[in-house]
Amino acid sequence: MSGPAEDLHDWGVAELSRQLAERTVSSVEATRHLLQRAQSQHDLGAWLCIDADRALAQAEAADARRQAGESSPLLGVPIAHKDIFVTRDLPTTAGSKMLEGYRSPFDATVASRLSAAGTVTLGKLNCDEYAMGSANENSAYGLAHNPWDRKRVPGGSSGGSAAAVAARHIPAATGTDTGGSIRQPASFCGITGIKPTYGVCSRYGMIAFASSLDQAGPMARSAEDCALLLSAMSGFDERDATSAQRPPQDFLAAMTARRDGADAARPLAGLRIGLPKEFFPAALAADVDGAVRRALAELEKLGATLVDVSLPRTELSIPVYYIIAPAEASSNLSRFDGVRFGHRAEHYTDLLDMYRKSRAEGFGAEVKRRIMIGTYVLSHGYYDAYYLQAQKLRRMIADDFQSCFGNCDLIAGPVAPTVAWPIGDQDDDPVKAYLADIFTLPASLAGLPGMSLPAGFGEHGMPVGLQLIGNYFNEGLLLQTAHVFQQATDWHQRAPAMEQSA
C-alpha cells in the first residue's frame, strides 16, 4: 500500500470509503493525515478535544477488521462529534463551564451506533453553550471561525462541526438541530447537513436543550455522505421515549432509487417543489435570493416543477419557538444544580446559596437569558397566556405544512436571510440573531425533515445554502433530490483556502 494521497482530506465519506475498500489507503494513514491537519489549524476554534492516541488505536482496529474481511461502508472513516453528545472515553462539556471536566459513564446512542459501524472518532467539536445560539459565539471555550472568512461566524449551534467539515479536518461530523442548528451552519460554511424527522435518531445521551425539538443529524460534504451516516445513526431506541418506532433505514438505497418516469436528462421528472411566498420576503438579501433562485432554476432543468404555496404563519414561528424552547430549557437545565455533577461554587453559606452561585458561575449569559424567559412563561399566571398559546400556534404551523404537501412533494427556499455575518456583529442585539432563524424554525416546530445543500456564493465570497423540507419520514426524497442536484453542480466540492497555523 502506497502512502496517503496529498489531497486525502478532500475526500468525502463515500470516496474515502471506496479508497479504504480498495486498499489504496488505510484508516491509520487517513486518520494520521487528518489529525495533523486539524492540529495544525487549531486556531480555527472548531475543536474542544482531540485524542490522537485513541483515534489511531480505533483506526488500527478498523484496518484489522477490513483485513479480516469486513466491508461496512463506514469502517475506518474518521469523524467527530458535536460536544452535545455524551461520550465515555472523551470529555463532554456542551460548550459550558458548568460541565467542565465531566466524564459520562456511557455513550450517546448516536455515538455508539456510529462506533459500531466502524467510524474512528478524532474528538469533540465546539458548539454554542447547551446548543443555544446561531453563531457559535456562546461557547464558554472560545468561538469557532468560518473557514471561508475567519472574521465571520460559522453559524450555530453546530458551528464547530460545520467549520471542521468545511476546513477538511474531517469528512463528516454529527450535529444537532433544535431550530436550525444543522441547516444554518451548513449553509454558512458551504457543506451539506440534514435534520431528519423528529424521532428518527435517538436523543438518548444527547444533552437536552428543548426536548420536543432537539434532533441529531449528520453534517458532511454531500447528500451521499449524509445518507451513509444517517443510515447508521437512525432506528428505534427503547431508551428514548421520543424515538420513532421505525427500523434502521438504508438511506443510500432510497437516495439512489430511480424515480418513476425519470430519465437521464430529467432525473427529477414528476417532482413538485413548493415555493412558499413567505420564504422570499422583500427583506431577503439580494445575494441569497439570487443564489437560491439559480439553484431552483437548476432543479427545473433536472425535471422538477416549481409550485407556488403559502406558509402563512411563518413569521409567528419566531415568537412560538422562543417561548417553547426556553420553557423546555428552563426545565431541562434545572438538573445542573451543583449537587450531583457539574460545576459547584467553592464558597457558599447554605444549600440555596450553593444552587444560586453554582448556576450563576457555571452558565453563560445566553443560557441564563433563556432560562429566565422559560421560567417566566411557565410561571403561574403566564402559562396560559404564553406557553399554551404557543403550543396551539405550533399545531397550526404544522397544519400549514400539511396543506402545502397536498400540492407539492418538497418545499424549498433559503436557509437564512443573509450569508454569515461578522463575528461580534450581533452582540448587542440578541433578538437580531433570533430573527435570522425565520426560515429554519417552521420545520423544526412541525418536526419535519429538512436539509441544507450548497447552492452558490453571495457577497464577500460567502456560501449560500438551499433549504429543502420534506414531509414526515421522507428523508429519502430529500437526499435523492439533493444528490441529483449535486451530480449536476459542483458547489458542494468547493473548499475554502486554508493556511496551516504556525
Q: To the nearest 10°, the Cα dihedral for 433, 189, 183, 11?
A: -160
pLDDT at 288: 98
Measured between alpha carbons, how far is 482 from 222 in angstroms, rounded to an integer? 8
15 by Cβ neighbours in 10 Å (0-12 / 13-18 / 19+) ranks as middle
264 by Cβ neighbours in 10 Å (0-12 / 13-18 / 19+) ranks as exposed
pLDDT at 301: 98
Paired sense of beta strands 78-82 and 120-125, if any: parallel
The CATH number assigned to the domain holding 471 equals 3.90.1300.10
Per-residue pLDDT band at 379 (split at 50, 70, 90): very high
Taking residue 372's Cβ as centre, other Cβ atoms within 10 Å add up to 12
Cβ proximity of 330 and 378 under 8 Å = yes
Per-residue pLDDT band at 501 (split at 50, 70, 90): very low
Per residue in 339-359, pLDDT (tens digit) is: 988 999 999 999 999 999 999
Taking residue 151's Cβ as centre, other Cβ atoms within 10 Å add up to 12
**The residue type at 433:** A
Structure-block grid coordinates of residue 175: 450535529
pLDDT at 502: 35
Helix axes 475-488, 286-301, angle to 10 degrees: 90
The SS3 assignment for 320 reads: helix
Would residue 438 count as lying in a domain? yes
Q: Select from 121, 106, 103, 111 the least CA-distant residue to 85.
A: 111
Q: How many domains does the chain have?
A: 1
Q: Is the dihedral of CA 157, 195, 437, 385 positive or negative?
A: negative
Domain residues for the domain of 190 are: 8-317+388-493
DSSP state of 104: -
500 pLDDT more than 60: no
DSSP state of 388: I
Measured between alpha carbons, how far is 307 from 18 in angstroms, rounded to an integer? 38
Tell me the mean pLDDT in the region 11-15: 98
Per residue in 247-261, pLDDT (tens digit) is: 889 999 999 998 888
83 pLDDT more than 70: yes
Question: What Å distances lie between residue 3 and 26, 29, 167, 318, CA to CA?
Answer: 9, 7, 22, 51
Measured between alpha carbons, how far is 38 from 170 in angstroms, rounded to an integer? 8
pLDDT, mean over the chain: 95
- Model pTM above 0.85: yes
Would residue 3 count as lying in a domain? no
Provide the greatest CA pair distance for the chain: 74
Using only the alpha carbons of the chain, give its radius of gyration: 22
* Residue with more model confidence, 223 or 436: 223
Counted residue by residue, the chain has a size of 502
Residue entry with cell 438538573? 335
DSSP state of 387: I
Q: Select from 328, 335, 136 the least CA-distant residue to 213.
A: 328
Angle (nearest 5°) at CA 101 between 37 and 152: 45
DSSP state of 500: P
Per residue in 257-309, pLDDT (tens digit) is: 988 888 888 999 999 999 999 999 999 999 999 999 999 999 999 999 999 99
Cβ proximity of 174 and 193 under 8 Å = no
Would residue 331 count as lying in a domain? no
Sheet holding 172-177, edge to edge: 47-50, 120-125, 78-82, 172-177, 215-220, 192-195, 450-457, 463-470, 410-414, 272-276, 305-309
Catalytic positions are 82, 157, 181
Tell me the mean pLDDT in the region 16-44: 97
Angle (nearest 5°) at CA 364 between 362 and 369: 120
Measured between alpha carbons, how far is 172 from 161 in angstroms, rounded to an integer? 8
Would residue 278 count as lying in a domain? yes
Would residue 60 count as lying in a domain? yes
Tell me the mean pLDDT in the region 187-211: 98
In percent, how much of the chain has pLDDT > 70?
98
Measured between alpha carbons, how far is 145 from 151 in angstroms, rounded to an integer? 7
pLDDT at 499: 58
13 pLDDT more than 80: yes
Structure-block grid coordinates of residue 294: 439559480
pLDDT at 429: 79
387 pLDDT more than 90: yes
The SS3 assignment for 412 reads: strand
Would residue 454 count as lying in a domain? yes
Q: Partners of 201 in the beta sheet?
A: 234
Would residue 345 count as lying in a domain? no
pLDDT at 4: 61
2 pLDDT more than 70: no
Question: How far apart are the two ends of the chain, measured CA to CA in Å?
Answer: 31
Tell me the mean pLDDT in the region 56-65: 98
Would residue 96 count as lying in a domain? yes
